[in-house]
Amino acid sequence: MTIDKDKLRALAEAATQGEWKFDGGTVNDWRDGEYSMEWMANGEDCEDGTNANWRADGEYIAAASPATILALLAEIERLKERNVYWIDQANTIAVDRNSIRNERDQLKDENEALRKALGEISGQVDGNIRCAVRDVVNCRGDVQDIYGYCDNIDEIIEAAMAKEDGQ
Protein backbone atom coordinates (compact mmCIF):
# COMPACT_ATOMS: atom_id res chain seq x y z
CA MET A 1 0.00 0.00 0.00
CA THR A 2 1.28 3.44 -0.92
CA ILE A 3 0.53 6.10 1.66
CA ASP A 4 0.06 9.69 0.57
CA LYS A 5 1.79 11.15 3.61
CA ASP A 6 1.45 14.73 2.39
CA LYS A 7 -2.31 14.31 2.04
CA LEU A 8 -2.53 12.60 5.44
CA ARG A 9 -0.49 15.43 6.98
CA ALA A 10 -2.69 18.10 5.35
CA LEU A 11 -5.82 16.34 6.58
CA ALA A 12 -4.38 16.04 10.08
CA GLU A 13 -3.44 19.73 10.10
CA ALA A 14 -6.92 20.75 8.87
CA ALA A 15 -8.72 18.60 11.46
CA THR A 16 -9.52 19.81 14.96
CA GLN A 17 -6.33 19.81 17.00
CA GLY A 18 -6.05 18.50 20.53
CA GLU A 19 -7.22 15.34 22.24
CA TRP A 20 -9.82 13.21 20.47
CA LYS A 21 -11.97 10.64 22.19
CA PHE A 22 -14.94 8.45 21.46
CA ASP A 23 -17.73 9.18 23.92
CA GLY A 24 -19.38 5.81 23.58
CA GLY A 25 -22.33 7.32 21.71
CA THR A 26 -24.56 5.63 19.23
CA VAL A 27 -23.81 4.53 15.71
CA ASN A 28 -25.58 6.72 13.17
CA ASP A 29 -26.99 5.02 10.07
CA TRP A 30 -26.43 7.22 7.02
CA ARG A 31 -28.60 6.94 3.95
CA ASP A 32 -25.91 5.28 1.84
CA GLY A 33 -25.62 2.44 4.35
CA GLU A 34 -22.30 3.49 5.90
CA TYR A 35 -22.05 3.91 9.62
CA SER A 36 -20.39 6.61 11.66
CA MET A 37 -19.82 6.87 15.40
CA GLU A 38 -20.08 10.10 17.31
CA TRP A 39 -16.81 11.52 18.57
CA MET A 40 -15.54 14.53 20.45
CA ALA A 41 -12.49 16.71 19.85
CA ASN A 42 -11.41 19.22 22.48
CA GLY A 43 -14.67 18.68 24.31
CA GLU A 44 -16.81 19.63 21.30
CA ASP A 45 -19.32 17.25 19.80
CA CYS A 46 -18.22 16.56 16.23
CA GLU A 47 -21.48 15.36 14.68
CA ASP A 48 -22.46 16.74 11.27
CA GLY A 49 -22.72 20.50 11.32
CA THR A 50 -22.15 21.10 15.05
CA ASN A 51 -18.41 21.71 14.84
CA ALA A 52 -16.70 24.13 12.46
CA ASN A 53 -14.20 21.44 11.40
CA TRP A 54 -16.63 18.52 11.21
CA ARG A 55 -15.94 17.85 7.52
CA ALA A 56 -12.15 18.15 7.90
CA ASP A 57 -12.36 15.94 10.99
CA GLY A 58 -14.34 13.32 9.09
CA GLU A 59 -11.94 13.37 6.13
CA TYR A 60 -9.02 12.94 8.49
CA ILE A 61 -10.69 10.03 10.25
CA ALA A 62 -11.43 8.41 6.89
CA ALA A 63 -7.83 8.91 5.73
CA ALA A 64 -6.46 7.47 8.97
CA SER A 65 -7.92 4.07 8.23
CA PRO A 66 -6.59 0.96 9.97
CA ALA A 67 -4.80 -0.03 6.76
CA THR A 68 -3.07 3.36 6.61
CA ILE A 69 -2.05 3.26 10.26
CA LEU A 70 -0.80 -0.34 9.92
CA ALA A 71 1.17 0.63 6.82
CA LEU A 72 2.72 3.57 8.67
CA LEU A 73 3.63 1.32 11.58
CA ALA A 74 5.14 -1.21 9.17
CA GLU A 75 7.18 1.56 7.55
CA ILE A 76 8.39 2.72 10.96
CA GLU A 77 9.50 -0.84 11.76
CA ARG A 78 11.22 -1.18 8.38
CA LEU A 79 13.05 2.10 8.92
CA LYS A 80 14.08 1.04 12.42
CA GLU A 81 15.50 -2.20 11.01
CA ARG A 82 17.27 -0.26 8.28
CA ASN A 83 18.65 2.10 10.90
CA VAL A 84 19.96 -0.86 12.95
CA TYR A 85 21.58 -2.27 9.79
CA TRP A 86 23.37 1.01 9.04
CA ILE A 87 24.46 1.42 12.65
CA ASP A 88 25.94 -2.10 12.47
CA GLN A 89 27.66 -1.17 9.20
CA ALA A 90 29.10 1.99 10.76
CA ASN A 91 30.36 0.01 13.77
CA THR A 92 31.93 -2.60 11.48
CA ILE A 93 33.63 0.14 9.47
CA ALA A 94 34.93 1.72 12.69
CA VAL A 95 36.37 -1.62 13.83
CA ASP A 96 37.90 -2.19 10.39
CA ARG A 97 39.32 1.33 10.39
CA ASN A 98 40.92 0.79 13.80
CA SER A 99 42.33 -2.56 12.69
CA ILE A 100 43.77 -0.97 9.55
CA ARG A 101 45.28 1.86 11.61
CA ASN A 102 46.89 -0.66 13.95
CA GLU A 103 48.26 -2.61 11.00
CA ARG A 104 49.53 0.62 9.43
CA ASP A 105 51.30 1.58 12.66
CA GLN A 106 52.84 -1.88 12.90
CA LEU A 107 54.04 -1.62 9.29
CA LYS A 108 55.54 1.79 10.03
CA ASP A 109 57.43 0.28 12.97
CA GLU A 110 58.64 -2.62 10.85
CA ASN A 111 59.63 -0.25 8.06
CA GLU A 112 61.64 1.79 10.54
CA ALA A 113 63.36 -1.38 11.81
CA LEU A 114 64.21 -2.37 8.24
CA ARG A 115 65.60 1.11 7.55
CA LYS A 116 67.75 0.77 10.65
CA ALA A 117 68.97 -2.67 9.49
CA LEU A 118 69.72 -1.24 6.05
CA GLY A 119 71.70 1.53 7.73
CA GLU A 120 73.68 -1.09 9.64
CA ILE A 121 74.38 -2.99 6.42
CA SER A 122 75.40 0.23 4.73
CA GLY A 123 77.73 0.93 7.65
CA GLN A 124 79.23 -2.54 7.30
CA VAL A 125 79.82 -1.98 3.61
CA ASP A 126 81.24 1.51 4.02
CA GLY A 127 83.28 0.80 7.15
CA ASN A 128 84.68 -2.64 6.52
CA ILE A 129 83.97 -4.32 3.22
CA ARG A 130 85.18 -1.41 1.10
CA CYS A 131 88.42 -1.41 3.05
CA ALA A 132 88.78 -5.17 2.65
CA VAL A 133 88.14 -4.95 -1.09
CA ARG A 134 90.67 -2.12 -1.38
CA ASP A 135 93.22 -4.19 0.52
CA VAL A 136 92.60 -7.19 -1.76
CA VAL A 137 92.91 -5.03 -4.87
CA ASN A 138 96.15 -3.55 -3.55
CA CYS A 139 97.46 -7.06 -2.70
CA ARG A 140 98.00 -6.31 0.93
CA GLY A 141 98.83 -9.28 3.07
CA ASP A 142 96.79 -8.33 6.14
CA VAL A 143 93.39 -8.37 4.41
CA GLN A 144 90.42 -8.40 6.77
CA ASP A 145 87.97 -11.30 6.63
CA ILE A 146 85.50 -10.14 3.95
CA TYR A 147 83.47 -13.32 4.37
CA GLY A 148 82.87 -12.53 8.04
CA TYR A 149 81.35 -9.20 7.08
CA CYS A 150 79.20 -10.86 4.45
CA ASP A 151 78.00 -13.31 7.12
CA ASN A 152 77.07 -10.36 9.37
CA ILE A 153 75.09 -8.80 6.54
CA ASP A 154 73.32 -12.10 5.85
CA GLU A 155 72.39 -12.37 9.56
CA ILE A 156 70.83 -8.90 9.52
CA ILE A 157 68.88 -9.70 6.35
CA GLU A 158 67.73 -13.09 7.69
CA ALA A 159 66.55 -11.50 10.95
CA ALA A 160 64.53 -8.93 9.01
CA MET A 161 63.06 -11.60 6.72
CA ALA A 162 62.24 -13.92 9.64
CA LYS A 163 60.34 -11.10 11.28
CA GLU A 164 58.37 -10.57 8.05
CA ASP A 165 57.63 -14.33 7.72
CA GLY A 166 56.47 -14.52 11.34
CA GLN A 167 53.70 -11.98 10.79
Convert the pLDDT of each residue in 133-143 to its tens digit. Answer: 777 777 776 66
Q: How far apart are CA 24 and CA 38, in angstroms?
A: 8
pLDDT at 24 over 50: yes
Residue 32: its pLDDT value, please? 47
Which residues partner with 41 through β-bridges? 20, 44
Give the Cα-Cα-Cα angle 28, 29, 34 (nearest 5 degrees): 110
Q: What is the pLDDT of residue 30?
A: 45
Express each pLDDT in 63-119 by its tens digit.
Answer: 887 778 888 888 888 999 999 999 999 999 999 999 999 999 999 998 888 888 888
Q: Are strands 27-29 and 20-21 parallel, antiparallel or unpaired?
A: unpaired
